[in-house]
Every structure is written in C-alpha cells, then in structure tokens.
Amino acid sequence: MDTDSLRLFVMAAERLNISAAGRELGLAPAVASARLAKLENELEVELLHRTTRKVTLSLEGADFLPYAREILAQADAARAALGGSETGPIGTLRFAAPSSFAQLHIMPLLPEFQALYPDLTLDLRLSDKQFDAIEGSFDLALRSAPLTDSSLRGRKLAEDKRILCASPAYLETHGTPATVQDLAGHRFIAWSDAGARELIHASGAVALLDPARMVCRTIVDDGDAQREATIAGAGLSINSLWSAAHEIRSGRLLQVLPDWRLNDRSVLWLVYPRSNVLTPKTRLFIDFLIKRLGPAVAFDPASPELPVPP
C-alpha cells in the first residue's frame, strides 16, 4: 500500500478538501483525485464522498482513517530509526487541549514552534470538554486528572495545584476566612456538579469544602468564566494556579487560606493512545511543551511573590 496515497487520504479527510491536501503535497488537483481514486480501487471501498459542492468522509473512510494514521506513524518511526530525514517533521499533528489552558499558555508559543518546524501543521481542538483521544484519533491530548486510563500513555507536564481565591473587593466586603470553618456562609462560585471536595493542608490535615454550607448563586463549567467571575467579586472559587497566577501576582485576586489546596491529585498530562507509535512529530511537540511550559505552570503557590489577604 502506497504511503504517499495514504498521506494524501489522511490530509484530505482532515481538511475535507482534496485539492487543498494535494497542494500541500505538491500535487495538482487532477493528480490528487486520481491518486485517491486508485487507493479506493485498491481497497474496493469509497473513502470520500465527492459532490460538486463538498467532500465528506464515508463510513468506510471513517473506519479506515485511524489505521491509515497508524500506518503512516509506523512508517515515520521506522524512517526516524534509520536516521530520520533531512527535511524535518511534516504532516499534521492533531492535538486536543482545554481551551482555557491553551489560550493562556499554548497559543503564545505557536510562532516559536512554527519557526522551528515550518512543515508541521498543528490541528488544535480546544474545548474545556474532555475529548476521547482514541475515538477522536488525536495524536496527543492534554488532560488534567490522574492518569488512570489503561488505554493511554502519557508524560507529565506539571502538577495542577488548585487553590481558593477571591477578589480584594469581595474580601473587604465579606471578610477574609481564617479557617476552613469560616467558609460557611460565604458566597461560592461552584463547579458544575456542585459536589463537596476535600481540601488538604500543608501539614497533611484534610477538611471538606462543601458548597451546600455556602451561598452558591453562580455555577459554571468553564475555567475562564469562573476566574473572571471571581475577579468581578461574585464570590470565592477554586482555581488552578496556571489559570490564576497572573491575577494573583497582579493583586486582582488574592489567595484565601494559603496553606490549603484542593486535594484532587490532579496532574497535567500529555497523553496519547497506548496503541499509537510515538511518532517523531508527536515526540517533538511533547518535548517542546515540557521544556517551555513545565516550569511556567509549576511555580510554588507559597512563593512570597504571591500576595495573600491581610
């Protein structure tokens, strides 16, 4: 099976545009169409439905796509094992990540990564809703959770410490909690499930943060919205350090009960399907993110640079 034809199919399936995929590979539209038709004849299925107005992926094409990606990954890995290529990584890398994290930390790095690897296209799927890395056929995904899924492999990017925050205006009006028990009656910007969560003290002591004992007038499922509502003074909230660091350092947010943090053991993982070969392009992107982002999102919440309420 011709890997060049497979690469053309994968690119056409991702773009739903045969001509555009052909141009990226240096092929005229007629040549690209003929090559795909030859692949379909060889497989005896229609991989892409074509009309004069659009291209769509057939059911057979959708079933075949992850296998085509795997064949190409194996070919790229084999080529790299024999000394790689002179041109560097090429093709498309499909990466899923939480939108809030990507906007703050990944988007500013895109020009640098693109300058290093100009022939590599990043297909970014950004949402605070968790994607299925296997069903979505992603090369790589960023997750903030314990890595318990046996179908995935991963490399640790950083700890995902989560702390209690409030705006200076809110604390001036409603008072600053000195103990976990003082949280009762405070306004709280709750997560979507509104369930109780454990807090852990620097000493190892554990306490319960229970929204039912607080005043919950705002419930959100988006990290950016939660942070902005907290800045506006809508109440206390739990925020990831990577999300709230800039506002804490600038004084727009203050850390409440600084010796306590959410006890959810969350870690920022870069994950990929266990069945996938770790291709050179994926390995390069993982190494790049760990080098550029690992130290930036793993700072100490007890640092004297972070102001806390008086």
Q: What is the DSSP string of 79-129?
A: HHHTT--SS---EEEEEEE-HHHIIIIIGGGHHHHHHH-TTEEEEEEE-SS
The Cα-based distances of 128 to 67, 122, 143 in angstroms read: 28, 18, 10
Last residue of a domain, one of 49, 84, 119: 84
Find, among 255, 260, 265, the residue nearest to 304 by Cα: 255
Domain contains 77: yes
CA 103 to chain centre: 10
Domain contains 305: no
Output the pLDDT for position 107.
94
Structural tokens at position 241: 């350090």
Residues 21 and 50 in one domain: yes
CA angle 227, 186, 190 (to 5 degrees): 40
The predicted model gives 109-125 an average pLDDT of 91
Last residue of a domain, one of 66, 84, 102: 84
Residue 20: Cβ-neighbour burial (10 angstroms; 0-12, 13-18, 19+)? middle
Query: E-assigned strands of the chain?
Result: 48-50, 55-57, 91-97, 120-126, 140-144, 152-159, 162-166, 187-191, 197-201, 206-209, 215-220, 237-240, 254-256, 260-262, 267-273
DSSP H stretches of helix in 144-270: 168-174, 223-231, 241-250
What percent of the chain is predicted at pLDDT more than 90?
38
pLDDT value at 306 more than 50: no
pLDDT value at 169 more than 60: yes
pLDDT value at 236 more than 60: yes
What percent of the chain is predicted at pLDDT more than 70?
85
Domain contains 308: no
In angstroms, rounded to a whole number, what is the distance separating the alpha carbons of residues 98 and 131?
9
Average pLDDT over the chain reads 84
Domain contains 303: no
In angstroms, rounded to a whole number, what is the distance separating the alpha carbons of residues 291 and 262?
26
pLDDT value at 153 more than 70: yes
Residues 96 and 148 in one domain: yes
In angstroms, rounded to a whole number, what is the distance separating the alpha carbons of residues 279 and 117?
15
Residues 110 and 167 in one domain: no
Residues 258 and 169 in one domain: yes
Output the pLDDT for position 74.
76
pLDDT value at 299 more than 70: no
CATH code for position 4: 1.10.10.10
Confidence of residue 276 (pLDDT cuts 50, 70, 90): low
CATH code for position 129: 3.40.190.10
Confidence of residue 309 (pLDDT cuts 50, 70, 90): very low
Confidence of residue 24 (pLDDT cuts 50, 70, 90): confident
pLDDT in tens, 207-234: 999 998 999 988 888 888 899 999 999 9
In angstroms, rounded to a whole number, what is the distance separating the alpha carbons of residues 57 and 64?
10
Find, among 237, 186, 180, the residue nearest to 209 by Cα: 180
The predicted model gives 117-140 an average pLDDT of 74
In angstroms, rounded to a whole number, what is the distance separating the alpha carbons of residues 290 and 285?
9
Residues 137 and 181 in one domain: no
For 96, half-sphere exposure in the C-beta direction (CA atoms, 13 angstrom radius) is: 19
Last residue of a domain, one of 34, 67, 84: 84
Domain contains 306: no
Range of the domain at 114: 91-160+266-298
Domain contains 310: no
In angstroms, rounded to a whole number, what is the distance separating the alpha carbons of residues 48 and 55?
7
The Cα-based distances of 60 to 34, 37, 63, 139, 293 in angstroms read: 19, 14, 5, 21, 39
Number of independent structural domains in the chain:
3
Output the pLDDT for position 307.
42
Q: 61-65, 220-224, 301-305: which has the minimum mean pLDDT? A: 301-305
Q: Rounded to the nearest 10 degrees, what angle do helices 223-231 and 241-250 cross at? A: 20
The predicted model gives 269-292 an average pLDDT of 83
In angstroms, rounded to a whole number, what is the distance separating the alpha carbons of residues 239 and 220?
12
Output the pLDDT for position 135.
47
